[in-house]
C-alpha cells in the first residue's frame, strides 16, 4: 500500500503546516507499519521526532496534529499512545475498496516502473577452467532472484555472466594439455569436463612447484592474448566443454537469459583503460608496475595501497579487466544500475575498482553501483564447505541430492496415503520441491551472513520453507478443483467482503505486495520476499481453517473465492521471483 502511505504522509504534512505554520514545510513525516497489530495498521512518530525542534512535549504536538489532520475517508480516529505515538487503524471499508480494485489484476495492482532503468546484474561468473561448485550457488540464485524482481518492477535487466575465461589459469591449462593430452586441444570432444577438472588440478600443482612450467604457461597467456590461432582454438574447445556442463546446472536451477561475457571480452580494451587512467592523472609507476593509489586504504605498513592495473611484465590482471568491464557497462551500455552479486570476500577488490572508476570520471553520479555481497556457505565445522575428503562439492551433485531426497520423501508419502501419480508428475514434483528447497533456504537467509549448509534443515518440510508456500498454493488449487471453479471466470460484478478477521488479515497482506517489492529493490535482500510469502501463507492457512469457502452462502462464497484467487496469484508470483515453481498437487 505505497499509495496509502504516501497519502497519509501528505495529510500529516498538511496538518503540521496548518498547526505550526511556515517552517514546517521542511518537516518530513515518516509513516511506518504499526510495531504491533494491537496498535492498528500504521503509526507515525512525528511528535517524538519534532519535539525538540518545536519546543513542545510530544503528546502536545500529537494532540495538535490530530486536531488538524483529515483522515475520515481512510481511518478510524487516530489515537495517541505512550510517549506520543500516533496510531492509525485503517477502516475495513477502505481495505475492501482497495482489494476490490485489484481483484482481477494478476500483478496485484502493482504498476510497472514509470521510468524504467537499465540494470545490469553481474552474477554466477564461474571459472571456466573448473566445474561449478557449491560456491557458485549463492551468486547464481541471488543474482537471478534480483534480476527477476527488477524485471517484475518493469526495468530493463541484463544478466551478465562475467566468466573467468582468460589469464594465467588458461595459459597454465593449455600448456599442461599440450604436454599430456594434445588431442584435447585439437578435437572438440577428446576429454570430458571431469577430466578437465583433474587436469586443472594437476596443472595448478605443477605451476606452483615448477618455475620452468610457469614460464611456459605465461608464454601461452601471451599467445592467447596476442591471438595465436592454435592456442585460441584450444582455448575455444576448453570453453565449449565447460559451457556445456554449466548449462546443465543453469537448466536445473531454472536460470535463463544469461549473457556470457567473460574477461576475454575486455582484452582489447585493457590498454585503453590504462591510457584513460594515465590521462586522468591517476596512474603512477611503482616498482615497475602501473598503479593507482587508493584513498582510504592502507597497506600492511600503514603506507599507501595501490590498485595494480598493469604488471611489471606488461601483463594485466583482473583489476584491469574489472575496470574495463565497469567502464564498458557505464559508457557503452549506459547502465544506470549495476549490481555485482559477488561474495563478501571480494569487498577489498571491488571497493577499489569502484573508487578508481569514479575518480576516473567514468561513472555519472546518478548511476548506482552496488556490491551485493553474501557470506560463505560453511560446513558443520564452520569452515568453507568441503566434502569429508576435503574436496569441493560439485553444484550438480548437490542439486541432484536435493532432488533425490525430495523424491524419496514423496514416494513414501504417496505410498502412505495410497495415492498414485504419473512418473512424469513425480519427477516434476521432486524437482520443484528438491531444487526449490535448496534455493529457498539460501534466499530466506540474510545474504550478508554466513550460513551452515545442512541438507536436513534445507529439505525439512515444515516452517519457513519452499514446501510450506507450495502447499498453501496446492490447497487453493484444491478448492478450485473440488468446486469445479475457474478462478479466472469469476463474475466481474462480484465483490470482496471482509467480514471475518482472517479475511481482513489476508487482504491486508495481499495489499502489502508492492511494499515488499520496493523494499527488495532498495535493500537488495531476497529474504524479504521469503518473509512476505511466509506471512502470506500463514495468513492463508489461518483463513483456510476458519473460513470455509465452498460451503459458504453467497455472496460470501464468491468473495472468498476471489481472495483465494488473489492469494494463489501472489504466492505464484512471489515464488517465481525466487525462481521457484508451483505445483497443482503435492
Partner RNA sequence: GCGCCCGUAGCUCAGUGGAUAGAGCCCCCGCCUUCUAAGCGGGUUGUCGUUGGUUCGAAUCCAACCGGGCGCGCCA
Residue 81 found at the interface with RNA (CB under 7 A): yes
**Which of 29-37, 149-157, 245-253, 493-501 is the region at the interface with RNA (rule: CB under 7 A)?**
29-37
Residue 20 found at the interface with RNA (CB under 7 A): no
Start-to-end CA distance of the chain, whole Å, equals 33
Q: Which of 78, 143, 352, 467 binds RNA (CB under 7 A)?
A: 467
Closest CB 472 distance from RNA, rounded Å: 8
Asked if residue 493 lies in contact with residue 509, where contact means CB atoms within 8 angstroms, the answer is: no
Is 146 strand, coil or helix?
Answer: helix
Residue 474 found at the interface with RNA (CB under 7 A): yes
Q: Which of 2, 19, 48, 181 binds RNA (CB under 7 A)?
A: 48
Site for RNA in 128-167 (CB under 7 A): 164, 166-167
Q: Which of 23, 67, 83, 555 binds RNA (CB under 7 A)?
A: 83
Residue 555 found at the interface with RNA (CB under 7 A): no
Residue 306 found at the interface with RNA (CB under 7 A): yes
Angle between helices 270-279 and 318-331 in degrees, nearest 10: 80
d(CA 320, CA 160): 18
Residue 392 found at the interface with RNA (CB under 7 A): no
Residue 460 found at the interface with RNA (CB under 7 A): yes
**Which of 99-107, 304-312, 358-366, 568-576 is the region at the interface with RNA (rule: CB under 7 A)?**
304-312
Asked if residue 235 lies in contact with residue 184, where contact means CB atoms within 8 angstroms, the answer is: no
Residue 298 found at the interface with RNA (CB under 7 A): yes
Residue 186 found at the interface with RNA (CB under 7 A): no
Closest CB 18 distance from RNA, rounded Å: 22
Residue 586 found at the interface with RNA (CB under 7 A): yes
d(CA 71, CA 77): 8
Which residue matches cell numbers 599507501?
A: 304
Write b or e for each residue in 382-412: b if 16 or more Cβ atoms lie within 10 A of its Cβ, otherwise e.
eeebeeeeeebbbbbebbeebbebbbebbee
Q: Cα-atom radius of gyration of the chain, to the nearest Å?
A: 29
**Residue count at the site for RNA (CB under 7 A)?**
107
Q: How far is CA 567 from CA 13, 141, 388, 475, 481, in A?
A: 34, 25, 44, 11, 16
d(CA 171, CA 220): 5
**Which of 107-115, 138-146, 443-451, 573-581 is the region at the interface with RNA (rule: CB under 7 A)?**
443-451
Which residue matches cell numbers 596512474?
A: 283
Q: What is the dihedral of CA 548, 552, 555, 559, to 10 degrees?
A: 20
Q: What is the DSSP letter of 111?
A: P
Q: Which of 91, 113, 190, 305 binds RNA (CB under 7 A)?
A: 305
Residue 63 found at the interface with RNA (CB under 7 A): no
Closest CB 79 distance from RNA, rounded Å: 8
Residue 457 found at the interface with RNA (CB under 7 A): yes
Q: What is the DSSP letter of 286?
A: E
**Torsion angles phi and psi, residue 60, rounded to 5:** -65, -40
Site for RNA in 84-113 (CB under 7 A): 85, 87
Residue 428 found at the interface with RNA (CB under 7 A): no
Is 297 strand, coil or helix?
Answer: strand
Q: Pattern 500-529, binding to RNA, x per CB under 7 A?
A: -------------------------x-xx-
**Which of 2-10, 265-273, 440-448, 485-493 is the region at the interface with RNA (rule: CB under 7 A)?**
440-448
**Which of 65-73, 181-189, 245-253, 448-456 is the region at the interface with RNA (rule: CB under 7 A)?**
448-456
Amino acid at each position: 500500500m505505497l499509495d496509502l502511505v504516501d497519502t497519509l504522509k501528505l495529510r500529516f504534512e498538511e496538518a503540521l503546516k496548518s498547526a505550526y505554520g511556515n517552517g514546517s514545510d521542511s518537516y518530513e513525516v515518516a509513516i511506518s507499519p504499526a510495531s504491533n497489530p494491537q496498535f492498528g495498521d500504521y503509526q507515525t512518530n512525528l511528535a517524538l521526532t519534532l519535539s525538540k525542534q518545536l519546543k513542545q512535549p510530544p503528546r502536545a504536538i500529537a494532540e495538535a496534529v490530530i486536531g488538524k489532520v483529515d483522515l475520515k475517508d481512510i481511518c478510524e480516529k487516530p489515537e495517541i499512545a505512550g510517549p506520543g505515538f500516533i496510531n492509525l487503524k485503517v477502516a475495513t471499508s477502505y481495505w475492501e475498496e482497495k482489494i476490490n480494485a485489484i481483484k482481477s489484476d494478476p500483478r496485484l495492482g502493482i504498476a510497472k516502473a514509470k521510468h524504467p532503468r537499465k540494470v545490469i546484474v553481474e552474477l554466477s561468473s564461474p571459472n571456466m577452467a573448473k566445474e561449478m561448485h557449491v560456491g557458485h550457488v549463492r551468486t547464481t540464485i541471488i543474482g537471478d532472484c534480483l534480476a527477476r524482481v527488477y524485471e517484475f518492477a518493469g526495468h530493463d535487466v541484463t544478466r551478465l555472466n562475467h566468466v573467468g575465461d582468460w589469464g594465467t589459469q588458461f595459459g597454465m591449462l593449455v600448456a599442461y594439455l599440450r604436454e599430456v593430452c594434445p588431442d584435447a586441444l585439437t578435437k572438440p570432444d577428446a576429454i570430458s569436463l571431469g577430466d578437465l577438472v583433474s587436469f586443472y588440478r594437476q596443472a595448478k600443482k605443477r605451476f606452483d612447484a615448477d618455475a620452468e612450467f610457469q614460464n611456459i604457461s605465461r608464454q601461452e597467456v601471451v599467445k592467447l592474448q596476442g591471438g595465436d590461432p592454435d592456442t585460441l582454438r584450444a582455448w575455444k574447445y576448453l570453453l565449449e566443454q565447460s559451457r556445456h556442463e554449466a548449462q546443465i546446472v543453469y537448466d536445473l536451477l531454472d536460470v535463463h537469459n544469461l549473457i556470457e561475457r567473460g574477461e576475454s571480452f575486455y582484452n582489447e580494451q585493457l590498454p585503453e583503460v590504462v591510457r584513460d587512467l594515465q590521462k586522468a592523472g591517476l596512474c603512477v609507476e611503482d616498482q615497475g608496475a602501473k598503479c593507482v593509489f587508493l584513498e582510504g586504504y592502507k597497506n600492511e605498513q600503514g603506507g599507501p595501497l595501490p590498485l595494480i592495473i598493469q604488471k611489471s611484465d606488461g601483463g594485466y590482471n583482473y583489476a584491469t579487466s574489472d575496470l574495463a568491464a565497469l567502464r564498458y557497462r557505464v559508457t557503452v551500455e549506459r547502465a544506470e544500475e549495476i549490481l555485482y552479486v559477488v561474495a563478501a570476500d571480494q569487498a577489498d577488490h571491488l571497493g577499489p575498482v569502484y573508487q578508481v572508476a569514479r575518480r576516473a570520471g567514468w561513472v555519472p553520479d546518478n548511476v548506482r553501483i552496488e556490491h551485493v555481497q553474501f557470506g560463505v556457505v560453511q560446513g558443520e565445522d564452520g569452515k568453507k564447505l568441503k566434502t569429508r575428503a576435503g574436496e569441493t562439492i560439485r553444484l550438480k551433485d548437490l542439486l541432484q541430492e536435493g532432488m533425490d531426497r525430495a523424491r524419496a520423501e514423496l514416494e513414501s508419502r504417496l505410498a502412505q496415503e495410497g495415492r498414485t501419480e504419473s512418473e512424469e508428475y513425480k519427477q516434476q514434483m521432486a524437482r520443484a520441491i528438491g531444487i526449490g528447497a535448496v534455493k529457498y533456504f539460501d534466499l530466506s537467509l540474510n545474504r550478508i551472513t554466513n550460513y551452515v549448509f545442512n541438507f536436513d534443515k534445507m529439505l525439512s518440510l515444515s516452517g519457513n520453507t519452499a514446501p510450506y508456500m507450495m502447499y498453501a498454493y496446492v490447497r487453493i488449487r484444491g478448492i478450485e478443483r473440488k468446486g469445479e471453479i475457474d478462478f479466472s471466470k469469476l463474475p466481474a460484478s462480484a465483490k470482496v467482503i471482509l467480514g471475518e478477521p482472517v479475511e481482513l488479515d489476508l487482504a491486508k497482506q495481499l495489499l502489502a505486495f508492492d511494499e515488499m517489492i520496493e523494499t527488495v529493490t532498495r535493500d537488495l535482500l531476497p529474504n524479504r520476499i521469503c518473509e512476505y510469502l511466509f506471512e502470506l501463507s500463514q495468513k492463508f492457512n489461518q483463513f483456510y481453517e476458519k473460513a470455509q469457502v465452498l460451503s459458504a452462502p453467497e455472496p460470501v462464497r464468491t468473495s472468498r473465492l476471489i481472495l483465494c484467487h488473489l492469494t494463489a496469484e501472489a504466492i505464484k508470483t512471489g515464488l517465481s521471483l525466487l525462481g521457484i515453481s508451483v505445483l497443482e498437487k503435492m
